[in-house]
Amino acid sequence: MIELEDVRKSYEHGQVHALNGVTIEIGKGEVVSLMGPSGCGKSTLLNIIGMLDQADSGRTLIAGRPIDSHAPGFLYRREMVGMIFQFHHLIPALSLLENVILPLQPLKSTMSEKRRKAKSLLESCGLGERLEFDPRRISGGERQRAAVARALVNDPCILLADEPTGSLDSQTGKALMNFILEYCRKRNITILLVTHDSDIARMADRVLHMSDGKIR
């Protein structure tokens, strides 16, 4: 599902080498965790797979096609990729239901269909009683579950998760990760998870280690 071959990325006019020849292959429905020290290139790698950034060189294939062929990036993310971040990035002025509906807005389905889909996913996340709450009125774990619902509402083929449990206590983090894994495995969604938590990492099918812009 995801193939990278000798992918390189530099910043600061070539002075900072974020990715230094990354080669990996992740199968359809596989759950892979990526560990490594801060600044080793993990988030850069996710951003390239999510088309939030572009590699300087190397080859990136998504579902057997060069990633550029999936352009433009916003359509690629809308149709194929869900993204979860360490901090939920929910919009405070919107209810949880409205936050989850947002990725569905460009689609041709009716508003009632969009509301029904978002409501169902929030209920699956244990937030059925919080649909009309704004993010400031709920706990950190509930906010992150709403962010997970938003990432999954478009039925992505790939889920990219950058420290999704990093701002949560260990018990809440494991519960959230269990939900993500159960949901995605039922739907054969490929997951690439960046984490510093070895307990969370071991929940994946495979653990990769990264340092100095390389997979070790």
| Phi-psi region at 178: left, alpha or beta (left = phi > 0; alpha = psi -120 to 50) | alpha
Residue 4's closest CA among 59, 64, 62, 81? 59
In the 3-class helix/strand/coil scheme, how is 85-105 assigned residue by residue? CCCCCCCCCCCHHHHHHHHHC
- On whether the CB atoms of residues 176 and 208 are closer than 8 A, the answer is no
State the average pLDDT for the chain: 90
Say whether pLDDT at 88 is over 80: no
- What are the pLDDT digits (tens) for 150-191? 999 988 999 999 988 877 888 888 888 898 999 999 999 999
- List, for residues 27-81, the tens digit of each pLDDT value: 999 999 999 988 888 999 999 999 999 999 999 999 999 999 988 888 888 889 9
Give the CATH number of domain 2-215: 3.40.50.300
